């Protein structure tokens, strides 16, 4: 199963934040935890992509109307979260498994794909009508693996920077392997806190860990980054401050003094 944040464009050209979920049976569109729509792979006709943006349209057959999406290159602490190619690759594999047919992929050099979206009202009038253009079909595999380059100039993927903050200027790099976990202190909705020992100095610290996917799911990214900013700014003997902050591909870690 694949899930990540995405933007849906409605027929008023308004961007709506959604969670896209792909299982082995269907594509799901969630607004937070509320299911807005389920599209069975059997009714997906194909996908149109823009060569100028990260927009793509999922075309459907029968009475199912189309879906217009944008996969934003969100950069949460140097981690690229969503890639359009990954979504198309998973759709192609899932559709092949269900229907034995490859995903039809069409490309357009238009910045906006609004003219390619079949609306609900159009499907009500004629369930066979589709705005998908079959003139510019391309192969899925070359598109995914780069044999055919997209016209859009790919934005460089920034290498993951592991250490995000160190109060001790002599310590440049910190990771989870530098600590020994001694016990669990507490567990909350968005993270866990453990008592750890810094192997180099044998000092005790409190290690707070967050799953990035959970922060995205519950829209806690801004709050967490604000917490980091406040903790690393504080420098007072009677106030809790941040000693280290580091990350892995899927987690974020705050290290603070252990207060008994």
Beta strands in 71-149 (DSSP E): 105-108, 137-138
- Is 135 inside a domain boundary? yes
Q: What is the DSSP letter of 250?
A: S
In this predicted model, what pLDDT tens digit does every residue of 237-259 receive, in sequence order?
A: 899 999 999 998 889 999 999 98
Identify the pLDDT of residue 198.
97
Say how far apart CA 242 and CA 137 lie, in whole Å: 53
| CATH value at residue 74 | 2.30.29.30
Whole-angstrom Cα distance, residue 195 to residue 209?
A: 11
The residue range of the domain holding 243 is: 163-257
Residues 162-179 as b or e (16 or more Cβ within 10 Å = b): eebbbeeeeeeebeeebb
Domain check: are 137 and 169 in the same one? no
**Residue segments in the chain with a per-residue pLDDT below the cut of 50:** 74-75, 77-81, 148-158
Write down the pTM of the prediction. Answer: 0.55
What is residue 164's predicted lDDT score, i.e. its pLDDT?
92
Same domain, 17 and 136: yes
Do 139 and 168 fall into the same domain? no
* Residue 204: CATH number of its domain: 3.30.200.20
Residues 121, 26 within the same domain: yes
Q: Are residues 198 and 88 in the same domain?
A: no
Number of structural domains the chain divides into: 2
The terminus-to-terminus CA distance of the chain in angstroms comes to 42
Quick one: 124 and 6 in the same domain? yes
Indicate the residue among 112, 145, 178 that finishes a domain: 145
In this structure, the answer to whether residues 129 and 215 fall within a common structural domain is: no
**209 and 93 both lie in a single domain:** no
pLDDT at 17: 84
- Asked whether residue 19 falls in the same domain as residue 135, the answer is yes
């Amino acid at each position: 199963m694949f899930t990540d944040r995405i933007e849906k464009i409605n027929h008023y050209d308004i961007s709506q934040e959604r969670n896209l979920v792909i299982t082995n049976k269907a594509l799901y569109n969630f607004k937070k935890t509320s299911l807005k729509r389920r599209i069975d792979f059997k009714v997906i006709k194909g996908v149109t992509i823009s060569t100028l943006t990260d927009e793509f349209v999922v075309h459907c057959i029968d009475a199912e109307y189309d879906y217009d999406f944008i996969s934003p290159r969100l950069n949460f602490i140097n981690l690229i979260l969503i890639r359009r190619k990954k979504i198309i690759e998973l759709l192609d594999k899932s559709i092949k498994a269900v229907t034995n047919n490859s995903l039809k992929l069409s490309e357009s050099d238009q910045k906006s794909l609004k003219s390619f979206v079949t609306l609900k009202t159009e499907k009500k009038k004629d369930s066979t009508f589709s705005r998908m253009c079959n003139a510019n079909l391309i192969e899925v595999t070359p598109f995914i693996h780069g044999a055919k380059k997209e016209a859009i100039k790919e934005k460089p993927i920034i290498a993951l920077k592991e250490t995000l903050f160190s109060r001790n200027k002599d310590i440049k790099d910190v990771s989870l392997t530098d600590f020994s976990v001694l016990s669990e202190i507490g567990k909350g909705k968005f993270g866990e806190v453990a008592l750890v020992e810094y192997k180099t100095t044998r000092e005790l610290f409190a290690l707070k860990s967050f799953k990035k996917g959970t922060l995205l799911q519950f829209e806690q990214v801004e709050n967490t980054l604000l917490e980091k900013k406040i903790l690393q700014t504080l420098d007072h003997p009677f106030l809790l401050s941040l000693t280290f902050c580091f990350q892995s591909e899927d987690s974020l870690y705050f290290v603070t003094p252990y207060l008994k």
